Amino acid sequence: MYDILVKNGIIVTADAVSEGNIAIKDGKIAAVLAAGIEPEASKVIDAKGNYVFPGAIDTHAHLNDPGYEWREDYEHGTAAAAVGGYTTVIDMPLQNEPAMTNADLFDRKVEKVDSNAYSDYCFWGGLVPDNLEDLKGMHDKGCVAFKSFIGPVSPDYSSLNYGQAYEAMQRIREFGGRAGFHCEDFSMIKWQEARMKKEGRLDWQGFLDSRPVIAEMVATVDMIEIAKATGCKVHICHVSSPDVAQKIKEAQQEGYDITAETCSHYLSLTDRDVIENGPMFKCAPPLRSQDEVDRLWTYVEDGTFSGIASDHSPCSYDEKFKEILGSKIENVFDVWGGISGIQSGFQVAFNEGCVKRGVSPAVLANSMAKLPARAFGIYGRKGDIKPGFDADLVIVDPQKEWEITSDSLLYVNKISAFVGMKGKGQPVCTLIRGNVVAEDGKITAEKGVGELIRRLS
């Protein structure tokens, strides 16, 4: 007898959308069955004709734990992820105190966060100028990739120059890891920021002009060229521009293992939101034009992106409007940059893609589950609805209308650029390894149900 039978669902994978049932045993998918075949099970979940997706993987989130828990922590952040349909969260090493840059800190972080996790989680390892000797140790612990910045970064972390990036990629290539980069050219952005300030352009258009697409393009192309020279696998984080995505696609077509992600906000919000509404919409890279948003969806559909991430980058209300760590916000350049979106990312992508643009649900299963699992070495456990995989499932009601409100958010700080957005299609039930963790916007499991997922390959 099976533990759980999920019946009457429309099963969505990267390869097909079809009616069927799913049998679960010991937290794993035991069988994928044709519609009407209903073996005995201890618990039956009726999907009621709704979509059943593989659990989404958030390839890029800042949960701020340990060290900056007034912004976010594992209890609230992973609860929000589970309610929103992200069953596995790949957590970043910065906005941690200390930043996770060696194997000992890996262990300390697991000890701190594990008992508070509702979703499963993986770790990005830190990649900074002075920890190149520590990368192999973190890889051996199970880090799925290593995160670095080619552009400016918050004070708790350090950017790499191109020479350091070259050596890092040589080292990471030796043990088969993947290097990940925030690609905006450091010198371009610093010059543009200084130029805007000198010219007195301290408004939101000045901010947008300080981080042009060319800064993202230059850094991305250069990291791709270094990857080609070293043979290192590379992941380009939070791509905002379809023109940048095209360069990544061309490298993929040439046979190089270059993966990339975009984010739900780059697929739904625009530069007009920044100009009209300011602080809540500040992020880096910045939001782009409506035309660029529309064209970016092409690269979701064709499989260029291995992830529609949240880049969940939370902060307090004061850090958007008053002060950051005791420093008063004087102008747009001082405002905290980041959008909180881990609870909203899946429903926003579904509404913008499947509802508004007629994108097949299979495209989301591919870009939010299968391809991320492959890119980060966890496919086989995560990323698909197949026997032997973890029973990570998200039941989505495609007709359910929603409005994102502050009260509905489970974050430490109930603020987000997505507050006020309306749409259709929402997760109504989330299973993680066969555990029903969330239903109808509420957590239904005990804290600590989430597990650390180490890289498989």
pLDDT digits (tens, 9 = 90+) for 176-210: 999 999 999 999 999 999 999 999 999 999 999 99
182 contacts: CB under 8 Å, gap ≥ 6: 147, 148, 149, 150, 151, 153, 237, 238, 284
Could you report the per-residue pLDDT of 375-409, keeping only the tens digit for each?
999 999 999 999 999 999 999 999 999 999 999 99
Name all domains of the chain by residue range, CATH numbers in brackets.
55-344 (3.20.20.140)
- pTM tops 0.75, yes or no: yes
Give the pLDDT score at 155: 86
Q: Degrees (nearest 5) of the Cα angle 146, 147, 149?
A: 145
Average the pLDDT over 108-132 and give the result. 98
Place of tokens 């002060």: 323
Tell me how far apart the alpha carbons of residues 423 and 342 are, in angstroms, rounded to a whole number.
17
Average the pLDDT over 140-164 and give the result. 95
Residue type, 363: V
Tell me how far apart the alpha carbons of residues 223 and 228 are, in angstroms, rounded to a whole number.
9
Mean per-residue pLDDT over the chain, rounded: 98
Could you report the per-residue pLDDT of 213-242, keeping only the tens digit for each?
999 999 999 999 999 999 999 999 999 999
Give the pLDDT score at 148: 98
pLDDT(457) > 90: no
Average the pLDDT over 116-141 and give the result. 98
Could you report the per-residue pLDDT of 335-374, keeping only the tens digit for each?
999 999 999 999 999 999 999 999 999 999 999 999 999 9
Work out whether strand 41-46 and strand 51-54 pair parallel, antiparallel, or are unpaired: unpaired
Average the pLDDT over 273-294 and give the result. 98
